Amino acid sequence: MTDIIQLLPDHVANQIAAGEVVQRPASVVKELLENAIDAQSTSIKLVVKDAGKTLIQVIDNGIGMSTTDARLSFERHATSKIKSADDLFNLHTKGFRGEALASIAAIAHVELKTKTEDAEIGTKITIEGSEVTQQEPEVVAKGTTISVKNLFYNIPARRNFLKSNNVETRHIIDEFHRVALAHPQVEFIMMHNGSDVFNLPASNKRQRIVNIFGSKMNEKLVPVSEATEMLKIDGFVIKPEYAKKSRGEQFFFVNDRFIKSAYLHHAVNAAFEGLLKDGAHPGYFLFLEVDTKSIDINIHPTKTEIKFDDEHAIYAMLRATIKHSLGQFSIAPVLDFEKDTGFDTPYEYSKKSPVAPTIDVDRSFNPFKNEPKQKNIIFPFKREKKNAASWESLYAGLKDETTVVDQDDSIEFESEQVSGSLFETDQEENLRVTFQLQNKYIISPIKSGMLVVHQHLAHQRILYEELLKNITVQEAVSQQLLFPLQLSFSNPDLVFLEDLKEQLEHTGFVFSQIKNGCVEISGIPVSIAESQVEQVLTQLVKDVKEEVPDAGFSQNDLLAKSMAKSMAVKTGTPLKQEAQLHLVHQLFACKEPSVSPGNRPVLVTLDANDFDKKFM
């Protein structure tokens, strides 16, 4: 039998390793940023073009590399972070596998420029598909600049699996957030397609969070701090009233390394128990410091999962620390052992039983007892005589005669008959009476039985078709605001709003300006309340981040769906009968009244025969 096992060539092995290290452009950004951090940089600049498919460039002012180190850095399993297996349990750096640059160089065009502080001249290396095509001296500044161009150029299948530019940009921004939050002492700059996305100066943790997520985040943060021999906890949690239905702002850092941990996330949820609405998720930025010997980082390819020696103790400490912080800042009720004793019951009254208060009522009291009694009522006309001879007799004696009516005489007044309606309605019209069930469904009788309409989904369908028509026809009506709205958004969100500005203006929005983390709105659609504007735009940006289609029509469709969902009348809202009828009439005027924009059924028809079978 012939031998069938053979050694793989280096370029094939590198491409296989690249499949583990580099899933998308964001993976390259993560590896390069972490290398820049390990190089003791104080300023890092990230430049991205076409969501990283064309260019990913990281410029740092770190210690740089010598000519030999620059060449060896692209070899497999070449690293300066560890020297023996024991170092795996004493890690204070990020990348330590030594495969990042080798894997990236196997699937892209890479250019490296680096120089140490002591060297007079730097080094430039150009690599294409793991092959070094150029290595020469270069005059460069202190630090390292790595440019990754044409990612997956030699693996078309992997390139075809990449999502749209907006989706890939969102993943890059997520990785940028994770590195920037863990190292607030480092200045970070990010540019995408020539425009600034982030410009984060060196600061503390709270300022870094506010600089990334907007100025409104400052009032939402609750400090969390605790230090023990086993664990040191620092960071912030977001107040329960600002909790979102999406799991967006949730960050765990262990020894300045971003991790994902469902176990620790459960501890945070336990600390917020009873404070969150149904379906809401807590937000947090928690930085944990533990002994490097008590954790194992090397259990996951992307190093985002960590194994703790004593998870139960960390769980209990994390939950107790967050609970204490929420109580300390009057977010949650706590036992107060320093209360004012002046409100306590005196000792001499402590054993006395309470006496019910008594109420004395004077049942003989009459407020009209001393009022003068009116005896007679005098009318200046004479009673009409029966069988009057002529009309003159009706006016006879008005000047000299008066009629006295005793108080005991009964006076009858002619009353008008009150009818139910001005016009008579037929029986069929009376059957069209609607009513609301549990402030969620609208019930309406029909000839064959009963119609049940889901009010929230029905209003979604109505608004969706109206918004889609306005965007397409560009004839939306806008109501001008007396005082423009000032809304704060993070820089990435502003990028999405800029892209959607034209479509939003077709729905009725009027933007005065969009810059410096602020959006000024001077006009809003007629069908939206002023208090809903921020919620609608926030939800819209979130939906666009998650779906983000490329085609213009698909983007308009997503825009209409998102706005209709936010603007539609919510479940649990009571509606008057006129509003119920109007909603039903508008629904049946739609092109597709039976399904919502999300393809959920809007109405159900119950036949009268179905009711008959229930009583057999």
The 10s digit of each residue's pLDDT in 503-548 is 888 888 888 888 777 888 888 888 788 888 888 888 888 777 766 5
Tell me the per-residue pLDDT of 550-559, one tens digit each, with 9 for 90 and over: 444 567 788 8
* 346 pLDDT more than 90: no
Summarize the confidence of residues 116-145 as an average pLDDT. 90
Tell me the per-residue pLDDT of 379-426, one tens digit each, with 9 for 90 and over: 555 555 455 556 666 666 655 555 555 555 555 555 555 544 444 444
- Tokens 């009629």, located at residue: 403
**Residue pair 52/162 in contact by the 8 Å Cβ criterion:** no
Alpha-carbon separation of residue 134 from 124, 137, 404, 560 (angstroms)? 8, 10, 127, 52
Question: What does the pLDDT read at residue 298?
Answer: 64
Summarize the confidence of residues 35-64 as an average pLDDT. 92
Question: What does the pLDDT read at residue 423?
Answer: 42
Nearest to 144 by CA among 97, 101, 182: 101
DSSP annotation of 121 reads S
Q: Distance between CA atoms of 569 and 582, rounded to whole angstroms?
A: 13
Alpha-carbon separation of residue 413 from 293, 410, 416 (angstroms)? 99, 10, 10
Nearest to 527 by CA among 477, 596, 472: 477
**Residue pair 235/271 in contact by the 8 Å Cβ criterion:** no
Q: Distance between CA atoms of 421 and 289, rounded to whole angstroms?
A: 76
Which of the two residues, 612 and 15, has the higher pLDDT score? 612
Average pLDDT, the chain: 80
**Length reported for the chain:** 616
* 213 pLDDT more than 90: no
List, in order of start, the domains of the chain with CATH numbers: 10-200 (3.30.565.10), 210-328 (3.30.230.10), 435-605 (3.30.1370.100)
Quick one: pLDDT band at residue 450, thresholds 50, 70, 90? confident
**Residue pair 322/237 in contact by the 8 Å Cβ criterion:** yes
Question: Element (H or E) spanning 585, and its range?
Answer: helix 577-588
Could you write out the DSSP letters of every residue in 224-251?
Answer: EEEE-SSEEEEEEEE-GGG-BSS--SEE
Percent of the chain with pLDDT over 90: 21
Summarize the confidence of residues 332-349 as an average pLDDT. 59
Question: What does the pLDDT read at residue 430?
Answer: 44
* 428 pLDDT more than 80: no
Question: Tokens in use for 558?
Answer: 């997503």
Give the CA angle between residues 264, 270, 274 to the nearest 5°.
Answer: 150
Question: Element (H or E) spanning 425, and its range?
Answer: none
Q: Distance between CA atoms of 306 and 294, rounded to whole angstroms?
A: 10
Q: b vs e for 571-581, b when ≥16 Cβ sit within 10 Å of the residue's Cβ?
A: eeeebeeebbb
Question: Tokens in use for 264?
Answer: 């620790």
Q: Distance between CA atoms of 50 and 37, rounded to whole angstroms?
A: 25
Beta bridge partners of 487: 519
Nearest to 404 by CA among 384, 373, 385, 379: 379
**Residue pair 158/27 in contact by the 8 Å Cβ criterion:** no
Nearest to 65 by CA among 140, 144, 146: 144
Q: Distance between CA atoms of 325 and 474, rounded to whole angstroms?
A: 51
Question: Element (H or E) spanning 371, and its range?
Answer: none
Q: What is the distance of C-alpha 29 from the center of its chain?
A: 25
